[in-house]
Chains A and B, each alone.
Chain A
Amino acid sequence: MSHLTIGDIVRGDREVFPPYLYEAYQATRRRAPTLPLIEVPLTLSELTGPGPLLSAIPPTDADLTRNAGTVGEAIGQRIIVTGHVYDEQGNPLPDTLLEIWQANAAGRYLHKHDTWPGPLDPNFLGIGRCVTNTEGVYRFLTIRPGAYPWKNHPNAWRPAHIHFSVFGPSLLARLVTQMYFPDDPLHSLDPILNAVPTQTARQSLIATYEHTITETEWALGYRWDIVVRGPSATLFEAGGEIS
């Protein structure tokens, strides 16, 4: 079989979301479902979700450079990552929980199974959380992660990225994804990014450098907006009432 074999089972919009089977990303081969996903009407079970109640997060959690519980600061290029969370109608989504995790500046994760010889940083956990404000804006202060090697294929390296987990207003809006940095030569070599089917959709995962976000003598600024499924108005189409 060709290493480019791409499955036809996709959840959601085929122009946006990757197929479950993408053989170039080897871990999909034994984990991708092989039977068609079942089409079902949306019900209260999908049109509600835990998101609105998951918002009690201390603001210090959004500063990954200092949230390790040590007195020290993480080593690396200090960056600000900020943007809006919207639903697909363009409504900004306030009170939305974002959880992020990332490798350190050397490309090493704080995880027992990440054992390649990149150095750990005692002042960097690589985890953060933030809740969007009333305008739907989130903001993290962190350091730019390094690229890191993985064993998918010979001399495989993941481009620098930050993992994002997003809860929107309903289960439909649940999203786990990765944010990449602009102008990274590893993008075209990465099967995980390239599993996303279109250039437009791949671009949706790449932040833009924005000098107006950059803070003088402090940190470089990146903007990355996130768009999740919505809105809750579809509740009425389901014929249900919540109360």
Chain B
Amino acid sequence: MSERSLTSSQTVGPFFAHALLRQDAHRNVLVGQETLGTHIRIEGRVFDGDALPVPDALIEIWQADASGHYNHSGAQRKEIPNASFFGFGRTGTDEHGRFWFETIKPGSILYTKQQMQAPHISVTIFARGLLNHLVTRLYFADEPSNAFDPILLCVPEHRRATLLAQHEPRGDTTAYHFDIVLQGGNETVFFNV
């Protein structure tokens, strides 16, 4: 084994849908009735620097289950407490830049042995015009533990709101709204990870 140079990134382009959003690869419903936790619907739109909707973005999410565990089958994993919940979602934006997921609100996630991360969902954005994907996080605006989240605290205070999904009361559904602004005023915070 020897060190190898990383393979570079290229845009997903405009023509990915028939491959990456084929029937068994399009996963915007992450839950079944049996899934433990608070069922939520996440809705949002993706905008460009002209505040126009981005109709050809691919959005992937990765999240922990309601108890804060990732369903990661790596060697370190000793058990999967909530195996019915996978935690991976993938969808595309429609002609109005809209996307949605039905999932559960994740639990707090271990940071260090002494500290937790606030509930959050990792969000990855691919699109024509993005030579490399963008990485951000969705937090829940009504979550008090945000105030102590070690990652949010890395973000300048005036920009943190771009990471907060807003609760929208809507009948039986717990809905959160989360827009992604690629460029310009109110530009979403993206991470160098």
Contacts and interface: CB of A to CB of B under 8 A. Distances in A.
Interface of A: 10-13, 16-20, 22, 25, 27-35, 37-46, 48-50, 52-54, 86, 88-91, 99-101, 103, 109-111, 113-114, 125-128, 163, 165, 169, 171-172, 174-178, 192-193, 195-196, 200-202, 204-205, 225-229, 232, 235, 238-243
A17 B9 CA distance: 6
A190 to B, nearest CB: 10
B151 A10 contact: no
Contacts of B131: 17-20, 22, 25, 28, 192, 195
Given A35-B187, A127-B19, A90 B74 contact: no
Nearest to A166: B7
B92 interface: no
A44 B48 CA distance: 30
B150 A41 contact: yes
Interface centre among B6, B124, B129, by most chain A C-beta atoms within 10 angstroms, is B6
Given A43-B151, A109-B15, A196 B111 contact: no
14 contacts: A18-B10, A32-B130, A34-B49, A38-B154, A38-B155, A45-B122, A49-B62, A99-B25, A101-B20, A127-B19, A165-B20, A235-B74, A242-B76, A242-B77
Contact of A88 (B4, B60, B113, B159): B4
Contacts, number: 267
B4 A86 contact: yes
B182 A52 contact: no
Nearest to B58: A176
A91 B1 contact: yes
B73 A52 contact: yes
Contact of A33 (B64, B110, B113, B187): B187
Interface centre among B1, B9, B79, by most chain A C-beta atoms within 10 angstroms, is B9
A12 B187 contact: no
Contacts of B5: 16, 88, 200-201, 204, 227
A202 B73 contact: no
B145 interface: no
B78 interface: yes
Interface stretch (B37-45, B132-140, B171-179): B132-140
B100 interface: no
A10 B132 contact: yes
A171 B6 contact: no
A160 to B, nearest CB: 14
The secondary-structure label for the interface of chain B is loop
B8 interface: yes
Interface string B1-34: 1111111111111111111101001000000000
Interface in B113-151: 113, 117, 120, 122, 124, 126-135, 137, 150-151
The secondary-structure label for the interface of chain A is loop
Given A34-B183, A90-B1, A174-B124, A43 B190 contact: no
A32 B117 contact: no
Contact of A101 (B15, B50, B74, B110): B15
A3 to B, nearest CB: 15
A196 B188 CA distance: 24
A176 B74 contact: no
A229 B111 contact: no
A43 B3 contact: no
Contacts of B190: 11, 33, 37-38
Interface centre among A34, A205, A240, by most chain B C-beta atoms within 10 angstroms, is A240
A174 B123 CA distance: 12
A19 B1 CA distance: 30
